Each structure stands twice: as C-alpha cells, then as structure tokens.
C-alpha cells in the first residue's frame, strides 16, 4: 500500500507537539532498528537515540520517561507518550484508513484473482481458486496451488511452491490495550520475503512483519499446518515439520530442524544447526549446534542428567521404604 498523509491530518492537537513547525508527508512506517525518513516509528529505550541522528521528516513517538533525554533538534515531529506502542498503533491505523482506495483485480480463468499491480514471473503455474493481492511479486517457475491466498507486500523468489489453502502476508496477532480496556490491533505492514527454492506445504500461515518483513530464506521447507508469526526470520535450508508454531520475532539459524508439534515462544533465537525435538516447548534461546527437547525445552544432555538424578532419588527413597517395612 502506498501512503501519503500530512502530519497535520494524522495528529490531533497539532499545535501542542514538540517541533511542530513542520508539516511534511508520512509515506510509511519504520522500526527503530532500521529507521527511515518520512515514516512513523516509536522509541522506548535511550540506547536507540543514536540511530535517529540523521533521520528527517519522521513522526517519532518517544516514551515519556526518556523524552527529555532526546538529544537532537531535528526536522521531525516528536510526541511525548505514556505508551509508545499503543500510540504507534493508533497513528498507523489512522494512516492506513486515510489511504484506503478502491483496489482493482484482474480475473483469470478458473476463478484466479490477481491484483493489477502485482508482478508474476515467467512459467509460473497458478492453480484454480488462488487469490493474489496487489503489490505481490512472484519469481519465475513458481507454483501456487489451489486455494492459496497471498496478500499485499509479499515477495516470492524463483522455484517456490506455495501449498494448497496456505495464506501468506496476513496481519498477525499484535494487540495493545488502552486505559479503558479497548483493544487495538497493530497494523502489520512489513510484508513477507520468501527466497528461492522454498517449499511451503498446505494449510500454513506466514504472517506479515509488523514494520520490517517476515523472512524465509532460500531452500527452507515447511511441512503442513505450520504457523509462522510476524517478524520471524528463518535461516537457509531449515526444515520445519508439521503443526509447529513460531511466535512473533523468532529467529532460527540456517540448516536447523524443528520437530513436529513444537512451539517456540516469541523472541527466541536459535543458532544454526539446531535440532528441536518432537513436541518441544522452547521458552529460551539456544546457541548453534544445540539439540533440545522437552517442556520447557533444554539441552538433551541436561535432560539425561536430570533423569539420572531423579532415578537415583526415587531408587534411594524406595530402598528406605523397603527397610522401614520390615
């Protein structure tokens, strides 16, 4: 989606903002990790201020507890906020609603719908019942199977298979709650980037990144019924098996293996060549070459050691009970 809204249209109490002499256009959103000019972003930690040194014409929402430490006089709008993430959600929702327009689609035979601004490569096979939104790019020789739905701001590489009834690029579950208990969904505009030679099986969900894209690198394989939440980054040649769930902002290094029915909590970071056992519940990060299992997941050598200790304790307890019975 293309955005172009003036600050004075987005922000209430325009005259009361810090640095309110500028009324420039906002063209999108950015993260504090990769800030961009003419975007909306929020800041909750002082250590990120250095990244804003050269940013111009941005709507910057800063936590009230640190705003007076903000060192730069810049050509930006700076907002004092008690809840930067919530205010970010409100302003981005307003930006999206102000820029909504009638979307046009091209209809092909067999009930295939493709947005008019999307780009389809050569020798791409699109099966019946597929929906492809606007601003989607699909590389050469890819296959989009029946019932798949691909939403805007998704980039798919070459030789990719998107399985039947899989969805790519929908908003994920990002919510803030205000003081009145009203829940507000955070628009997720970062899209999805899928590399070359990726295979995503049927009935999978890959959600759009909130600001920066959700990324699936080359040669990744997803089994059926896999859920990839917003902001995840999956390294090259990783295998994720059936019914696994990755919460928001999970990172998995290349050549890793995620066993069936595994669940990875948000912001977990797994190094390359990591193996996660069947049904594991991963609640913390692990370095490269780890083999983990269990609930909560731990290194398998720790699990074996714990089992030996527990067995010894039970054996000693039973021996004491045996002597007491005489």
Residue of 78, 90, 77, 93 lying closest to 6 (CA atoms):
77
List alpha helices for the chain, DSSP H: 7-10, 84-98, 300-324
**What strands, in cross-sheet order, belong to the sheet with 167-168?**
105-108, 112-115, 131-132, 149-150, 167-168, 205-206, 227-228, 245-246, 263-264, 281-282
Residue of 147, 253, 254, 255 lying closest to 201 (CA atoms):
147
Contacts of 179 (CB under 8 A, 6+ apart): none
Active site residue 230: yes
CA distance 251 to 253: 7
Per annotation, catalytic residue among 25, 64, 207, 230: 230
As given in the structure block, the two tokens for residue 32 are 């504090």
Q: How many CB atoms lie within 10 A of CB 175?
A: 12
Which residue is listed with tokens 């990755």?
Answer: 246
CA distance 91 to 112: 35
Q: Are 138 and 156 in contact (CB under 8 A)?
A: yes
Segment holding 270, helix H or strand E: strand 269-270
Give catalytic residue positions. 230
């Amino acid at each position: 989606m293309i955005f172009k809204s003036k600050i004075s249209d987005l922000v209430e109490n325009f005259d009361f903002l810090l640095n309110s002499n500028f009324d420039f256009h906002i063209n999108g959103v950015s993260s504090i990790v990769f800030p961009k000019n003419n975007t909306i972003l929020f800041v909750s930690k002082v250590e990120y201020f250095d990244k804003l040194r050269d940013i111009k014409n941005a709507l910057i929402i800063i936590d009230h507890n640190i705003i007076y430490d903000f060192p730069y006089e810049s050509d930006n709008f700076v907002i004092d906020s008690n809840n930067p993430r919530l205010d970010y959600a409100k302003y981005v929702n307003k930006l999206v609603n102000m820029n909504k327009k009638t979307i046009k689609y091209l209809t092909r035979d067999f009930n295939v719908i493709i947005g008019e601004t999307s780009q389809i490569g050569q020798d791409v096979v699109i099966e019946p019942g597929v929906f492809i939104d606007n601003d989607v790019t699909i590389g050469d020789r890819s296959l989009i199977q029946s019932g798949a739905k691909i939403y805007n701001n998704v980039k798919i590489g070459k030789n990719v298979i998107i399985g039947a009834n899989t969805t790519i690029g929908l908003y994920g579950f990002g919510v803030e709650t205000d003081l009145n208990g009203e829940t507000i969904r955070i628009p997720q505009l970062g899209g999805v980037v899928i590399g070359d030679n990726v295979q995503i099986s049927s009935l999978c969900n890959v959600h759009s990144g909130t600001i920066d894209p959700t990324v699936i690198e080359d040669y990744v394989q997803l089994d059926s019924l896999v859920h990839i939440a917003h902001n995840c980054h999956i390294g090259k040649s990783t295998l994720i098996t059936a019914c696994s769930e990755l919460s928001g902002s999970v990172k998995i290094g290349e050549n890793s293996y995620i066993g069936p029915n595994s669940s990875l909590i948000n912001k977990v970071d797994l190094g390359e060549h990591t193996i996660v056992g069947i049904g594991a519940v991963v609640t913390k990060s692990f370095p490269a070459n780890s083999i983990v299992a269990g609930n909560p997941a731990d290194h398998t050598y720790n699990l074996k050691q714990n089992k030996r200790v527990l067995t010894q304790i039970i054996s000693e307890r039973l021996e004491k009970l045996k002597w007491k019975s005489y």
